[in-house]
Amino acid sequence: MCHKPFFTVLVCSLLLPSFSVFAADTVILDEIVVRGTEQSSFSSNLTIREVKESAARDLGEALQNVPGMTYVRKGAIANDVVLRGLKKDNINVLLDGVRLYGGCPSRMDPPSFHFDFAEVESVEVVRGPYDLSHPGSLGGMVNAVSKSPAMGKKFNFSLTGGSFDMLHSSLTTSYGAEKYDILAGYAYKYSLPPESGDGKRITEVYTPGTPNSYLADKIDSRAYRINTGWAKAGYKFMDKGRSEISYSYQDAEHVLYPYLFMDADYDKTHRLSWTTRIEEKAGAFENSEIQLWWDRVDHLMSDRNRTSSLSKPRDYGMETDSQTSVSGVRANGVIKVGEGALKSGLDYYHRNWDATNSSVMYLSYQPQAMVPDVDIDNIGAFAEYSVPVAENLRLTTGGRVDRTTAEANALDANRLTTVYEQYNSSTNLDSETDFTEFGGNLQLTWTPRDSIEIFTGIASMTRTPDPQELYIGLVRLPTMMMPNPTSWVGNPDLDPVRNNQADIGFKMTADTLFLSGSLFYSDLDNYITLVEIADPDGGGTLYSKGRSYRNIDAEIVGGEISVQSSLPLDLFLTAALNYTRGENKDLDEPLAETPPLNGSVSLRYDLGTWFAEITERFADRQDRIATSLQELETAGWNITNIKGGYYFDNWSLIAGVDNLFDNYYFSHLSYQRDPYSSGVRVPETGRMAYLTISYSY
């Protein structure tokens, strides 16, 4: 259970007033001013300073510092981000506005896994369906903004070493001239499997010898090894015009995911984009942008590291070879209309996903079109108008329309009849479908004085079913090793999800204070969820029990409150509290995989040249569970993190210990219920020490 004193500390912290400070010229005060004056009402941001000072291995871990954000842990890295209880395709995760998808149907490699922290300058989070610029922002958007070259020669090197042989390093160099600029970087990440608070590695969560357990020589093998390289070149024209091209390649090997049946043999990722942006008047446009991109992920996963691969005709019991690619174009601009500004744009993307599974549990390794070469084509348009309607009152409203087609090229009529119709109790299912959907929002922002902003909004936004939900097809037949397997079959009859949401909130700023809070109510029509499917042949040998997808009606309600403030004696306070409550209205039970009440409180002593900080993170017990999916309760927890740093000349030195008291605990989202989940919870990392040294000029 979470200890009450920590809640008391948090509540008192949120009520503390702001005081003048002796060392006001610090980066923390700069962040307070930026968040108070430049951050939009429905968004938050994460600075690269906050990332560099942490031991976060990926974006999922780093974003837990942003109000409303949590993550799903599958292993030591590649944690999937969760925003107000929504995840996967219910939120957009982008890099510089570019859409990218991982290759694994169980999201071993979520989009955020495929770019490195060293590429990123900041991360913007839009909470709720208020992003019209990109299709599918049903519950919000997470957009990582990459670094751009500055004028002159710049260089940065960073090296982090930590517990469990963790080694993260990066090098970035750039040169900026009056008319052109270039940037290049490289990053390397490596670690052994971390230990949890009980002293065991996360690869030891299974009873030795059971089918999903790791082979003896793999328990202490590396948890991941990742090499990433990137380059960017730009040309400047006009006074404020810039055109740039960028490319990145990532090679990830031997990435372990204990809570899944398989691990990643490799992920190979290519990203290519070209962007031209004019931030001055050109013709009718006050500013404009055009962007083209292409990316591809090759993903191979297998159980070669597990006991289930022993005594098989091949060196694996199951393997999935997957490729996914996205190409697209988007253009937008801002036109002055009356007293306001009209932003409008067009966009198109093509997505392909093809995954083939081979398993001893299906006709002795006969290949299955697990994701049957699915094409998604989406063309959309949006317009958003922002105008002052009265003194200190601004109205923003807009809409978006999308036309989406989906086609499973490798799904024939026979497999539709013998597999998909059996698990969905439907007839005349089709391998292609299309959707036309509209969405929009209306926002009001009232600023009664410069230091206070009150905002409210209503929005309705959709997202179409993804290729996996529509067409995934993994049939698993009983064997001696696994007599009761679970098949995983999509539902081609799914409807798009619609989120009808209302928000209200406030921001209060002063020279040394940033305080914000928000409440939301989300009514989800045709929300897509996993469901249990009985064995179509009643326990015979042709099929097995299964999981598929159904549309349900659901609702989510919650809110966030956060504060960042300077106190006397060079102290700085940061605190946040988040709550989300989900309900499956069809079954009258809690919505599955909803995070509990959680938050953090930090106290920092900062003199500019050096700092020391202590953070308490906590989560309440989650007893609101979905019994229809055998979801289990999760105990509350709290951990203590400490860190300190010293800045001298062009160098910085940061050291810290996360989970100082080596607590043994689980995130409520530490396991999932689909056929590739292992059925065990992966504990959070125990005591972890780290040291980072950086040099910049």
**Cβ atoms of residues 552 and 527 within 8 Å:** yes
How many angstroms from the chain centroid is the CA of residue 404? 23
Task: Show the low-confidence residues of the chain (pLDDT under 50).
Answer: 1-26, 32
Residue 558: name the closest of 139, 168, 219 by CA.
139
Tokens of 138: 């049903």
218/519 Cα distance (integer angstroms): 46
Contact at 8 Å (CB) between 316 and 301? no
State how far the Cα of 76 lies from the Cα of 255, in Å rounded to an integer.
Answer: 8
CA distance linking residue 594 with residue 323, whole number of Å:
30
- Would you call 475 helix, strand, or coil by DSSP? coil
Bridging pattern class, strands 393-408 and 180-191: unpaired
State how far the Cα of 668 lies from the Cα of 89, in Å rounded to an integer: 20
Q: State both tokens at 649.
A: 């000349």
> What is the pLDDT at residue 481?
66
Residue 679: its pLDDT value, please?
A: 67
Buried residues in 368-387 as b, exposed as e (16+ CB within 10 A): bbbbbbbbbebbbbbbbbbe
Domain range list for the chain: 4-696
Task: Dig out the tokens for 418 from the structure.
Answer: 């013998």
Tens digit of each residue's pLDDT (9 = 90 or more) over 297-332: 999 999 999 998 998 889 999 999 999 999 999 999
Per-residue confidence (pLDDT) for residue 27, from 0 to 100: 53
Tell me, what's the pLDDT at 30? 53
In words, the CATH class of domain 4-696 is mainly beta
Handedness of CA 255, 258, 259, 264 (dihedral sign): positive
- Which structure tokens are listed for 379? 């063309």
User: 342 vs 332, 383, 692, CA distance in Å?
Assistant: 10, 7, 45
Could you tell me which residues come within 8 angstroms of residue 193 by beta carbon, excluding any fewer than 6 positions away? 75, 76, 164, 201, 202, 203, 219, 220, 221, 223, 256, 258
Helix (H) or strand (E) holding 95: strand 92-95
